[in-house]
Chains A and B, each alone.
Chain A
Amino acid sequence: MKYKNLSTISRRKMLKLGAGTSAAAITALYAPSVISSDPITLRYLGTAVSMGDEVQKKLFEDTGLKVKFIAVTTDEVTKRVLTQPNSFDLVDTEYFSLPKLVPSGNILGMDTKRIKEWDNVTSIFTKGVTPSGKKVGLQGTAPSKVMYLEGSTGKKFANDVTQYATLIPTIYNADTLGIRPDLIGRPINSWAELLNPEFKGKAATLNIPSIGIMDAAMVVEAMGEYTYPDKGNMTKDEIDLTMKIFTEAKKAGQFRAFWTDFNESVNLMASGEVVIQSMWSPAITAVKSQGKDCVYQPLKEGYRAWAAGFALPKTTKGKTADAVYEFVNWYLSGWVGAYLNRQGYYSAVLPTAKQYMSEDEWGFWMEGKAAKGDILSPTGAKLASAGEKRDGGSYEDRMGGVACWNATMDENKYMVRKWNEMVAS
């Protein structure tokens, strides 16, 4: 077969061409030193959006393990897994990357029997329903569709429940549009508002095609232009239609800017260049912390959700693999869960996280109740005062309102091209 894995021509190796096989030798020397050194340091590849120094400190206190973060962008995580699977011991990646990662065979199935809290992992991941049984929208690469592998080294997703999970879920959220209520001055309740001419020159979306297309689809559907059988896996015609609507809006000057970086979205919103845009939840917090009114607006068509989890690269073995399982078990044991919940994300194992949160915190973040006192972020910044409620309400309301998930489409290549055409128009 002509099949050849990417890793053989990665850029790093290109540079090492002269050194020849020494690259392999170096890795061989490096791995044992990781295993024998005490304490074990795990190389953690991920976007690390949610991980502060406190996490590392607490981890070392509790388990004696250390982690070294290799923090890169979402796309870069995928690239690293495919091209340099030996450069990390543990990867934190998004479910929608799995259709690219799993066929490469570079990640192993995680043995769910070794995950203490596996049975308590929220049913959104395992069954596609909220804890109270509400069905979650499954369009796109929903975690419940790509949760299991046929075996620990499988390159195919399993249709049924197996012992091996592709990713052990860690963090997830439901995304929607962010708005500046002070500058809009009226209620917003539909994705269609993103293309409302009223906000001409004051709207923005993100220039990350795989996520931007999903937001675009939510808008197109909300406008009543088309109902997709599966937004997360469009046909070429559907991609054309979606991009045509966005191209027309762009040509008419609807968008002030597109953004690729989290901070850009914060600046656009805080400076008032933009009053309505695709946004991520920590960006809302960042705008608020600048004293600007900003709401993560729940919309009647629902949310676009995303989720991430841990995977083991095929190169991690022996004691290092044991340490990874120990780390993952610690991660799910509650302290981190509370830490994530306090940032407005959600943790995969809810009961353990609850033990580490005050009743008021749990009520505010998870149950949609009005805060009784100040609600603080993990770093101590005030996020809400007494009487305020979380945008979108409770966990059940937010996750139960998910309409689709971030996705990798079969027509991904075509989609990226059409997206580029839209940007160029």
Chain B
Amino acid sequence: MRKKTRIFQPKLSWLAIPFALIFIAYFVVPLILTLIVSFWDYTEYSIIPDFIFGNYVYIFQGCFSFEDGLCLTFKTYISTFFFCFFTWLITLLLGFSVAYFLAFYVNSLPLQITLFLICTIPFWTSNVIRMVSWIPLLGRNGLVNETLISFGLIQEPIEWLLYSSFSVVLALVHLYTLFMIVPIFNSMLRIDKEVIEAAYDSGANQFQIITNVIIPLCKPGIIIGSIFVITVVMGDFLTIGIMGGQQLASIGKIINTEMNYLQLPGAAANSVILLLITIFIIIVMTKFIDIRKEL
């Protein structure tokens, strides 16, 4: 091996210090405080240091009797899971297809990069604008309905295009597909083309190559993309609020309302539960694959 001139090389762990500090100050400490506050008591105008489980009990009040149907918390989580699942499924299919096309059908690197950058163009405007721009399109008197009516395909405007679960999932997919494309594309680029050639030479067809070679090798990308999408959707309340016409429940909205009414310990308790559930989902997902090993 060629001998390198030795420049100052701090221990690798030192390099992690700046980020570790930021991480501790802006993530770990607030998280611990949230956890602490979730056990406090509160009134309309103050919060009182205490150690009570009341906030948690309140969240699950009536949840295990099933007398009046499902309780608020269960209903809300089911609704949130619903959005989460469909958004995840659709972004995964779309993200995988786009990444697959970019990685294996586009041969020149400059073109790959160009096309990839095109995928990011929507991110040049804000989240909210991308979301709100659907409203004139999907509304009762929107572009889609007016076009369909003028072609004589429908007589009455389709109401479920906007302020419905459909419009929420549509907007979420639109917003977050890129989060899926990026890590999957990254994984795909690292697949040795010779492996695919070997599979081809051994008589595998296109479909078998995808299922037996590419998908297993892309697993880390798929899992990372899934974690991005699922964590974002679990905590979302803006998209569900705006696209759902504020009529669909999301756990984020409940936390937001509680914060607005200064029920901070209640909001903290809800946040802790949301966090635990999200972490649980991620643990289950990482059971399928050890990301650290694969990276």
Contacting pair A5 B30 (CB below 8 A): no
Is A30 an interface residue, CB under 8 A from the partner? Answer: no
Inter-chain contacts of B41 with A (CB < 8 A) = 2
Whether B29 lies near A416 (C-beta < 8 A) is no
Alpha-carbon distance between A303 and B86 when the two chains are bound, in angstroms: 44
Is A352 in contact with chain B by the CB < 8 A criterion? no
In the bound complex, residues from chain B placing their C-beta under 8 Å from that of A21 are: none
Query: Is the C-beta of A149 less than 8 angstroms from some C-beta in chain B?
Result: no
B254: which A residues are within 8 A, CB to CB? Answer: 420
Of all chain A residues, the one with the shortest Cβ separation from B263 is: A413
A9 touches B33 (CB 8 A): yes
In the complex, chain B residues whose CB is within 8 Å of the CB of A82: 45-46, 262
Contacts of A99 in B (CB 8 A): 44
Expressed in whole angstroms, the minimum distance between the Cβ of A212 and any Cβ of chain B is: 10
State how many residues of chain B have any CB contact under 8 Å with chain A: 45
Q: How far is the CA of A78 from the CA of B46 in the complex (A)?
A: 12
Binary contact readout A194-216 vs B (1 if CB under 8 angstroms, 0 otherwise): 00000001001001011000000
Since A264-B242, A424-B72 are in contact, a sample of 5 more A-B pairs with Cβ atoms closer than 8 Å, ordered by chain A residue number, is A6-B46, A210-B261, A412-B44, A413-B261, A424-B249
Quick check: is A17 within 8 A (CB to CB) of the other chain? yes
The answer on a CB contact under 8 Å between B48 and A256 is no
The answer to whether B262 touches A207, judged by C-beta atoms less than 8 angstroms apart, is no
Interface flags for B33-44 (1: CB within 8 Å of A; 0: not) read 100010001011
User: Which one of A5, A201, A273, A416 contacts B258 once the chains associate, using CB atoms below 8 Å?
Assistant: A416
* B246 and A423 within 8 A (CB): yes
Once A258-B247, A259-B246, A416-B258 are accepted as A-B contacts, the answer to whether A2 and B29 lie under 8 Å apart by CB is no
A100 adjacent to chain B (CB < 8 Å):
yes
Contact A103 B45 (CB under 8 A): yes
Q: Please tell me if B163 contacts chain A, counting CB pairs below 8 Å.
A: yes
With both beta carbons as reference points, the residue of chain B lying nearest to A417 in the complex is identified as B72
Enumerate chain B residues within 8 angstroms of A271, measured Cβ to Cβ. Answer: 135-136, 139-142
Contact flags A228-271 to B (C-beta < 8 A → 1, else 0) = 00000000000000000000001000011111100010010001
Determine whether B115 belongs to the interface, using a CB cutoff of 8 Å to chain A. Answer: no
Interface membership of A387, Cβ < 8 A: no
**Which of A75, A250, A267 sits near B247, CB closer than 8 Å?**
A250
Q: Is B245 an interface residue (CB 8 A)?
A: yes
Verify if B174 is at the interface (C-beta below 8 Å from A).
no
User: What CA separation (Å) do A227 and B178 show in the bound complex?
Assistant: 54
B249 and A257 form a contact (CB under 8 A): no
Mark A174-209 against chain B: 1 for CB-CB distance below 8 A, else 0: 000000000000000000000000000100100101
Q: Assess whether B37 is in contact with A100, with CB atoms less than 8 Å apart.
A: no
Q: Does A113 contact B (CB under 8 A)?
A: no
Number of interface residues of A (CB under 8 A): 48
Q: Which residues of A contact B76 (CB under 8 A)?
A: 420, 424
Q: Is the CB of A273 within 8 A of B139?
A: yes
Interface assignment of B25: CB less than 8 Å from any CB of chain A: yes
- Beta-carbon contacts under 8 Å, B2-30 to A: 25-26, 29-30
Quick one: which of B45, B76, B79, B242 has the most chain A CB within 10 A?
B45
| Shortest distance from the beta carbon of B85 to any chain A beta carbon, whole Å | 18
Within residues 37 to 61 of chain B, which ones have a CB less than 8 A from any CB in chain A? 37, 41, 43-50, 58
Query: In the bound complex, do residue A257 and residue B163 qualify as a contact, i.e. CB atoms below 8 Å apart?
Result: yes
1/0 per position for B108-142, CB-CB distance to A under 8 A? Answer: 00000000000000000000000000011001111
A14 at the interface (CB under 8 A from B): yes
Residues of the B chain whose Cβ atoms lie less than 8 Å from the Cβ of A267: 135
Closest to B36 in A: A9
B257 CB contacts on chain A under 8 angstroms: 209, 416, 419-420
Q: Give the distance in Å from the alpha carbon of A99 to the alpha carbon of B72 in the complex.
A: 28
Per-position binary interface string of chain A over residues 1-33, scored 1 when its CB falls under 8 Å from any chain B CB and 0 otherwise: 011111001000011011000000000000000
Task: Say which residue of A104, A209, A260, A273 sits within 8 Å of B45 (CB atoms).
Answer: A104
A52: Cβ under 8 A from any B Cβ: no
Q: Which of B25, B48, B246, B253 contacts A257 (CB 8 A)?
A: B246
In the complex, the answer to whether A6 meets B163 with C-beta atoms within 8 Å is: no
Contacts of A14 in B (CB 8 A): 29-30, 33
Contact B241 A420 (CB under 8 A): no
Given contacts A82-B262, A209-B261, contact A6 B47 (CB under 8 A): yes
Asked whether any CB of chain A lies closer than 8 Å to the CB of B294, the reply is no
Bound-state CA distance A5–B258 (Å) is 18
Q: Does A421 contact B (CB under 8 A)?
A: yes
A423 touches B140 (CB 8 A): no
The answer, yes or no, to whether A101 is at the interface (CB within 8 Å) is: yes
A2 touches B49 (CB 8 A): yes
One of B46, B72, B246 near A258 (C-beta < 8 A):
B246
**Whole-angstrom distance from the CB of A185 to the nearest CB of chain B?**
17
A423 contact set on B, CB distance < 8 A = 246-249, 253
Residues of A within 8 A of B136 (CB): 271
B79 near A258 with CB under 8 A, answer no
Whole-angstrom CA separation of A104 from B48 in the bound complex: 13
Of residues 70 through 106 on chain B, the ones whose CB sits less than 8 Å from some CB of chain A are: 72, 75-76, 79
Q: Quick check: is A372 within 8 A (CB to CB) of the other chain? A: no
